[in-house]
Amino acid sequence: MTAFDDLMAFQRETEALAQVAGRLGWDQETVMPRGAAEQRGEENAAMEGVLHARRTDPRIADWLEAAQPEGPAQQAMLREIRRDLDRATKVPAKLAAEIARTTSLGHGIWAEARAAEDVAAFLPTLERIVALRREEAAALSEGGDPYDALLDSYEPGITGAQLDALFGAMRPRLVALRGAVREAAPAPALEGHFAEEPQMALTRELALAFGYDLSRGRIDKAVHPFSSGSGQDVRITTRTQPDDPFNAIYSTIHEVGHAAYEQGVDPAYLLTPLGRGASMGVHESQSRIYENQIGRSRAFTGWLFGRTQSHFGDLGLADAEAFHAAVNRVADTYIRTESDELQYNLHVMLRFDLERALISGDLPVRDLEAAWNDRFEADFGFAVDRPSHGVLQDVHWSEGLFGYFPTYALGNVYAGCLEAAMRRDLPDLDAALARGDTGPATGWLRQAVQRHGALRLPRETIEAATGEAPTPEPLLRYLEEKFSALYGL
Among residues 93 and 131, whose Cβ is nearest to its own copies?
93
- 231 binds its own copies per the rule CB under 8 A: yes
- 93 binds its own copies per the rule CB under 8 A: no
- 6 binds its own copies per the rule CB under 8 A: no
How many helices (DSSP H) and strands (DSSP E) are in the chain? 20, 3
**Catalytic residue of the set 15, 136, 255, 262:** 255
Interacting residues with its own copies between 72 and 91 (CB under 8 A): none
Rg (the chain; Cα; Å):
22
CB of 422 to its own copies, least distance (A): 28
- 47 binds its own copies per the rule CB under 8 A: yes
Binding-site member from 17, 91, 175, 371 for its own copies (CB under 8 A): 17
- 470 binds its own copies per the rule CB under 8 A: no
CB of 58 to its own copies, least distance (A): 16
| DSSP state string for 262-328 | HHHS-GGGTTSTTSS-S-HHHHHHHHHIIIIIITTSHHHHHHHHHHHHHHHS--S--SHHHHHHHHT
284 is in an annotated binding site: yes
Q: What is the x/- site pattern for its own copies, positions 27-46, by CB under 8 A?
A: x---xxxxxxxxxx-xx-xx
- 211 binds its own copies per the rule CB under 8 A: no
* Distance in angstroms (rounded) separating the CA atoms of residues 327 and 130: 38
Among residues 29 and 233, whose Cβ is nearest to its own copies?
233
Burial of 426 (0-12, 13-18, 19+ CB in 10 A): middle
258 is in an annotated binding site: yes
DSSP three-state, residue 157: coil
Task: Look up residue 106 and give its amino acid.
Answer: G
Positive or negative torsion for Cα 429, 435, 439, 445: positive
- 453 binds its own copies per the rule CB under 8 A: no
**Which residues does residue 227 pair with via DSSP β-bridges, in sequence order?**
236
Count of residues of this chain found to bind its own copies when the rule CB under 8 A is applied: 39
What values do phi and psi take at 102, rounded to 5? -70, -45
DSSP three-state, residue 218: coil
Which span sits near its own copies by CB under 8 A: 20-28, 76-84, 246-254, 465-473?
A: 20-28
What values do phi and psi take at 40, rounded to 5? -60, -35
- 19 binds its own copies per the rule CB under 8 A: yes
CB of 296 to its own copies, least distance (A): 29
CB of 292 to its own copies, least distance (A): 27
Among residues 37 and 431, whose Cβ is nearest to its own copies?
37
- 100 binds its own copies per the rule CB under 8 A: no
Is 255 considered catalytic here? yes
Which span sits near its own copies by CB under 8 A: 7-15, 150-158, 193-201, 377-385?
A: 7-15
CB of 96 to its own copies, least distance (A): 16
- 115 binds its own copies per the rule CB under 8 A: no
347 is in an annotated binding site: no
Positive or negative torsion for Cα 321, 324, 330, 333: positive
* Distance in angstroms (rounded) separating the CA atoms of residues 160 and 148: 6
| DSSP state string for 420-474 | HHHHHH-TTHHHHHHTT--HHHHHHHHHHTGGGTTSS-HHHHHHHHHSS---SHH
CA 278 to chain centre: 12
Among residues 24 and 395, whose Cβ is nearest to its own copies?
24
- 23 binds its own copies per the rule CB under 8 A: yes
CB-CB neighbours of 477 under 10 Å: 13
DSSP three-state, residue 386: coil
- 266 binds its own copies per the rule CB under 8 A: no
Interacting residues with its own copies between 269 and 328 (CB under 8 A): 270-271
Pairing outcome for strands 235-238 and 219-221: parallel
- 387 binds its own copies per the rule CB under 8 A: no
Binding-site member from 233, 399, 425, 473 for its own copies (CB under 8 A): 233
**Which residues does residue 221 pair with via DSSP β-bridges, in sequence order?**
238
Give the annotated binding-site residues. Answer: 254, 258, 284
Give the annotated binding-site residues for Zn(2+). Answer: 254, 258, 284
Q: Which residues are catalytic?
A: 255
Q: Could you list the residues that contact its own copies (CB under 8 A)? A: 12-14, 16-17, 19-20, 23-24, 27, 31-40, 42-43, 45-47, 49-50, 213-218, 231-233, 235, 270-271
